[in-house]
Amino acid sequence: MDRSYGWVVVAAGIAITCLGMGGVLALGVFLPPLEAAEGWTRTQVATASMFAFLAMGVAGFGWGALSDRWGARRVVLAGGAIQGLGLVLAGKAGSVLELQLAFGVLGGIGAGAYMAPLTASASRWFERNRGLAVALVTAGMGMGTLVTAPLATWLIAAYGWRMAFTVLGLMVWAVVLPMALLLRAPPVVAASGPGGGGMTAGEALRSPALLAVAFTYFCCCAAHSGPIFHMVSYAVDCGIAPMTAATLLGAQGLAGVAGRIGGGMVADRLGEKPTILMALLLQASAIAAYVTISAPTQFLLLGMVFGLSYGAVMPLYAVLVRNWFGPAVMGTAFGAVSMAATFGMATGPVIGGWLRGIGGDYLWMYAASAAIGLGALLIATTFRAPAAPVLRTA
């Protein structure tokens, strides 16, 4: 099999993360409609997002380990089938608990099958341009926001929130399942990567280096998930029309796509750690600046900076894990790191809704998110590649 097929794997990964992760991140645009139609509070609906990311994290660790054994294709097929079912059932929810279980638990378990297996699969195909390849796969997440947020907003306005969830579920089935069939393993897998490559799964999971990456990823995602999830609601609170606010969120997602690609290219030249540090500093600064804006143009410009910052850093954790621990345990090791990240993604929306309920606005959410973002930056300064494992003798 020609090595150029790796770009087919990357293209399939983009499509899968676009619809799969876009279906998870689109819940933010449902907040005002569900509050108005059903009387469910924003904190209650945000709890569905928390359940989704918690389920993604726990399931993602298992899916990643399974992908090391079975390959990405079977894992992603199973995940796509489960997530699509969760979204369709969310459209039939008769209570907020049913929404939380369908969208959050079932949908989250399915969506957990994407990131670790897909990034592991893409990274195995490339020695050169590995950062770019992984960045492109994760870029689908930003593209998903660009596609699903305006689409869901239009569907809600035209047909109601139930139909919007149903259509998103059908789209996941229509896109994720066929794309998963294109996923293949490379003809030859390198024995190890630089640094600590060649470790066993157990050695990787016990490594302080992996813990540092996981904790940084947790804080990074906890910092930006609240501002992303509540951006439409914050813009509406500032007097911006819902469709305009959803379009602004889509533009921010598009900037995230550019950030992922740019971050991967920069990291291929400067290294992962310097690029991560620069992106984390920019992310914390952009989050803090949100409390100073209220006009659509301001949201657009700051959203572009914010999207570039969190987009640039997202694929680089996977590249670090691949380079430090090797391809054989990439699914397991990055599954563990992704679990920490999704716990961070689960934390931000709920804390943001809670802080808004207490303060009456989003000031304290942005302040807390910026502080957590600075914490991620401080932890990232400690990154060191693990020592090579000691060879055992009989």
| pLDDT tens digits along 376-392 | 999 999 999 887 654 44
Would you say the C-alpha torsion 210, 213, 219, 224 has a positive or negative sign?
Answer: negative
Confidence band of 183 (pLDDT split at 50, 70, 90): very high
Alpha-carbon distance values, 29 to 23, 222, 231 (Å)? 11, 19, 9
For the chain, the straight-line distance linking the first and the last C-alpha, in angstroms and rounded, comes to 37
- Return the number of other C-beta atoms located less than 10 Å from residue 230's C-beta: 26
In this model, does residue 273 exceed pLDDT 70? yes
- Name which of 189, 218, 215, 224 is nearest 342 in CA terms: 218
* C-beta separation of 109 from 56 below 8 A: yes
In this model, does residue 125 exceed pLDDT 90? no
* Token representation of residue 370: 């910026």
- Return the number of other C-beta atoms located less than 10 Å from residue 394's C-beta: 2
- Name which of 10, 119, 116, 98 is nearest 59 in CA terms: 116
Distance from C-alpha of 43 to C-alpha of 355, rounded to nearest angstrom:
10
The position carrying tokens 């369908």 is 102
Q: pLDDT value at position 194?
A: 43
In this model, does residue 190 exceed pLDDT 60? no
Distance from C-alpha of 268 to C-alpha of 263, rounded to nearest angstrom:
9
- Name which of 67, 212, 197, 180 is nearest 127 in CA terms: 197
Q: pLDDT value at position 388?
A: 61
Q: pLDDT value at position 155?
A: 94
Confidence band of 149 (pLDDT split at 50, 70, 90): confident
In this model, does residue 101 exceed pLDDT 50? yes
The position carrying tokens 């449902």 is 30
| The Cα angle at residue 187 between residues 133 and 324, in degrees rounded to 5 | 50
- Residue 246 vs residue 299, higher pLDDT: 299
Indicate left, alpha or beta for 198 from its phi (over 0: left) and psi (-120 to 50: alpha): left
Q: What percent of the chain has pLDDT over 90?
A: 42
- Name which of 234, 222, 217 is nearest 293 in CA terms: 234
Indicate left, alpha or beta for 388 from its phi (over 0: left) and psi (-120 to 50: alpha): beta
Mean pLDDT on 139-149? 77
Torsion (CA) 34, 302, 375, 42 in degrees, nearest 10: -10
- Residue 74 vs residue 4, higher pLDDT: 74
Q: Which tens digits make up the pLDDT trace of 11-44?
A: 999 999 999 988 887 887 898 889 888 988 877 8
**Averaged pLDDT score across all residues of the chain:** 87
Q: What DSSP string describes 11-80? A: HHHHHHHHHHHHHHHGGGGGHHHHHHHH---HHHHHHHHHHHHHHHHHHHHHHHHHHHHH-HHHHHHHHH
The position carrying tokens 């998903």 is 144
Out of 3.40.1410.10, 3.60.15.30, 1.20.1250.20, 3.40.190.150, select the CATH number for domain 3-380. 1.20.1250.20
Confidence band of 285 (pLDDT split at 50, 70, 90): very high
* Token representation of residue 372: 């957590």
Q: pLDDT value at position 118?
A: 92
Distance from C-alpha of 333 to C-alpha of 335, rounded to nearest angstrom:
5
In this model, does residue 158 exceed pLDDT 70? yes
* C-beta separation of 16 from 181 below 8 A: no
Q: pLDDT value at position 193?
A: 44
Distance from C-alpha of 289 to C-alpha of 351, rounded to nearest angstrom:
19
Alpha-carbon distance values, 372 to 262, 311, 358 (Å)? 24, 17, 19
* C-beta separation of 53 from 342 below 8 A: yes
Q: Which tens digits make up the pLDDT trace of 317-354?
A: 988 888 888 888 888 888 888 888 888 887 888 788 78
Hey, which of 235-244, 283-292, 357-366 has the most confident mean pLDDT? 283-292
- Name which of 217, 245, 209, 244 is nearest 230 in CA terms: 245
Would you say the C-alpha torsion 182, 188, 192, 198 has a positive or negative sign?
Answer: positive
